[in-house]
A and B are shown apart, each in its own frame.
Chain A
Amino acid sequence: MGLDFDSARLPNPYLTAEHEEWRTHIRRFFDREVIPFADDWDEAGMIPEALWLKSAAIGILGLGYPEEYGGVQEGIDIWHKNILNEELARIAVGGVSATLMVHGIALPPLIKYASEAISQTVVPPVLAGEKRISLAVTEPEAGSDVAQLQTKARQEGDHYVVNGSKTYITGGMNANWFTTAVRTADAGASGVSALLIPADLPGVSRTSLNRKQGWWCSDTATIYFDNVRVPKANLVGEENCGFRVIMSNFNSERLAMSAAMESSARVCLEDAVAWARNRKTFGKRLADHQVIRHKIAEMKQRINATHAYLQVVSAEIFEGRESAADIALLKVQCSQTMEYCAREAMQILGGIGYMRGSRIERIYREVRVNAIGGGSEEIMRDLAARQLGL
């Protein structure tokens, strides 16, 4: 076991040669096609269109989706997904994976709950990288408390008329569709429905939220619905059953984020160690100062614990018995480890780590979005306590 990105990873008895093969090819793809440019994309606040098509061609977008829609599902397990999320995080530009993979939260509800006609229309072009879809749940007045959302969908003949707004919508500026949580009945969770809203319908407008702490290259948006007429056929699942549709997604999103955060922590370790081994202060290497050695040892200790927990939770999913409480707590463990390692790595690098262009600086500014998005640390602990019967 070592201190660089690969050698610091704990051994995983579940991994096969095929998993490693998958890692080899996506790493090579990212090393050549993404990593040399990603910092510039981040600074420019955009990702080139071509990346979607290239990612689709090697199977990144279709990983785990049914073959009938152009995905690859047979023989795919949680480890393939973890490897992809790990390698995406190694790019160390958070907005790339946030935007490129945003269909990962918007598409599964359709496949699970929407009509076959809807899935056939939407899923294949998204997996082919030709079209995009975003998940629209959070509102200016309702975030973590999904049951309180206010965007209304009023029935009118064979249409819903939608009024309201959604905010912090990842990929929202360029999405062709929104998997949207709307209110179809009285207050509370039992009045929520999920509705697929095409972005080109009259009455849909959006504004860019481009001044964010991180995820610079991600096209985050606020979406406004002004008397938008959506066919009833676009309902995802049954009316007033949308809360479950939206919630059914969260476990996989949180696990994906967890794998990426653990990986980000390992990037911090790798860069901090490389710097500490070369940089000399007071006549010796940084790595020879006890205060620095202890920082590195503690980063490694926390990464080990986090990685071990990630493996236990992933193995539970692999064996078909996932635990929402553990996934929630794992997400907290991962964001805290990422935060700790980003902090300590930047302390070790000093001034150079503070300058834009370093992986540490980029990861540092992606800590909060990971600790808040997909369920904040506070909500995660609350959920776990509830799930555990407290």
Chain B
Amino acid sequence: MKVLVPIKRVVDYNVKVRPKSDGSDADLANLKMSINPFCEIAVEEAVRLREKGAVTEIVAVSIGMQQSQEQLRTALALGADRAILISTDLAVEPLAIAKCLKALMDSEKPDIVLLGKQAIDGDNNQTGQMLGAFTGYAQGTFASELTLEDGRAVVKREVDGGLQTVSLELPAIVTSDLRLNEPRYASLPNIMKAKRKPLDTMTPEELGVDVSPRTQLINVRLPAERVAGIIVEDVATLVDKLKNEAKVIS
């Protein structure tokens, strides 16, 4: 069974991002970049499935600039078998990514595509769902548990009301939530071995996909700074302030 794990290069979650001075975008110059945490969880899950014997091959793929190779190497160090970079300097949107993945699936024919539920830069939470629509395959989003049994993927989903379990026919699209697993630390031997694993590069054009942006970024600015709170004396004062000052209850 083959698993395709798409991953995204994003600014590291520890970094405090600020807008550029002209407000045209977030300022990412010289910041530490990492594999998107949800994507890393997806890689880890694929590796665990292989360790259980349910999966035989893990292919990591990223769509973006050349430097995304670094994050693909991370995926290889964590246990992916090979990697594919679909290289473009354009700012790719979920729609373009989903189209590229669909085109890649036509040749790779994975049994499961295991993605992060969203990336921490755009927080779009769209790629998995769009890929489900393009392929017509079953999708189990926000997975907190994934098991493979009798040729089906059983996904426990984190939904608003609690947990929902769905059983999906393969091939299927699964997106990972935070609680699916806790990714391992890549060991030094595996980091060194990752250097020798195959990493192929192709372009969106080769896949016949137009990745030019469909949306335009107008302006990026910091949210208004929060003013300091106060401590009220009793519940009655709190209720009064919520009603008459904040006007959030009536």
Report how far A25 CA is from B184 CA in the complex, Å.
Answer: 9
Q: How large is the interface on B (under 10, 10 to 19, 20 to 34, 35 or more residues)?
A: 10 to 19
| A60 contacts across to B, CB distance below 8 A | 188
Q: Is the CB of B188 within 8 A of A62?
A: yes
Report how far A76 CA is from B186 CA in the complex, Å.
Answer: 16
Q: Is the CB of B70 within 8 A of A72?
A: no
Q: A6-B32, A18-B195 are in contact. Are A58 and B188 (CB under 8 A)?
A: yes
B194-244 interface (Cβ within 8 A of A): 194-195
Q: Is the CB of B34 within 8 A of A59?
A: no
Number of A-B residue pairs having CB atoms within 8 Å of each other in the complex: 51
| B34 contacts across to A, CB distance below 8 A | 24
- Nearest A-chain residue to B78, judged by Cβ: A25
Q: Confirm or deny: A318 has a beta carbon within 8 angstroms of a beta carbon on chain B.
A: no
Report how far A292 CA is from B175 CA in the complex, Å.
Answer: 50
| B70 contacts across to A, CB distance below 8 A | 17, 20-21
Report how far A57 CA is from B189 CA in the complex, Å.
Answer: 10
Q: Is the CB of B32 within 8 A of A63?
A: no
Q: Map CB proximity to A onto B167-187 as digits: 1 under 8 Å, 0 otherwise.
A: 000000000000000000111
Q: Confirm or deny: A22 has a beta carbon within 8 angstroms of a beta carbon on chain B.
A: yes
Q: Confirm or deny: A75 has a beta carbon within 8 angstroms of a beta carbon on chain B.
A: yes
Q: Is the CB of B185 within 8 A of A75?
A: no
Q: Is the CB of B73 within 8 A of A25?
A: no
Report how far A237 CA is from B77 CA in the complex, Å.
Answer: 39
Q: Confirm or deny: A354 has a beta carbon within 8 angstroms of a beta carbon on chain B.
A: no
We find that the number of chain A residues with CB closer than 8 angstroms to chain B is 23
Q: Which of A6, A21, A62, A74 contacts B77 (CB 8 A)?
A: A21
| B30 contacts across to A, CB distance below 8 A | 7
Q: Is the CB of A59 within 8 A of B189?
A: yes
Q: Which of A6, A7, A28 contacts B185 (CB 8 A)?
A: A28
- Nearest A-chain residue to B14, judged by Cβ: A31
| A59 contacts across to B, CB distance below 8 A | 187-189, 191
Q: Confirm or deny: A29 has a beta carbon within 8 angstroms of a beta carbon on chain B.
A: yes
Q: Confirm or deny: B36 has a beta carbon within 8 angstroms of a beta carbon on chain A.
A: no
The interface of chain A, by Cβ under 8 A from chain B, is: 6-7, 17-18, 20-22, 24-26, 28-29, 57-60, 62-63, 72, 74-76, 80
Q: A58-B185, A58-B187, A75-B192 given. 19 additional CB < 8 A pairs? A: A17-B69, A17-B70, A17-B73, A18-B192, A20-B70, A21-B70, A21-B74, A21-B191, A22-B191, A24-B34, A25-B185, A25-B186, A58-B188, A59-B187, A59-B191, A72-B188, A72-B189, A76-B188, A80-B188
Sample (27) of A-B pairs whose CB atoms are under 8 Å apart: A17-B70, A17-B73, A18-B73, A18-B192, A18-B195, A20-B70, A21-B73, A21-B77, A21-B186, A22-B188, A22-B191, A24-B34, A25-B187, A25-B191, A26-B185, A28-B185, A57-B187, A58-B187, A58-B188, A59-B187, A59-B188, A72-B188, A75-B192, A75-B195, A76-B188, A76-B192, A80-B188
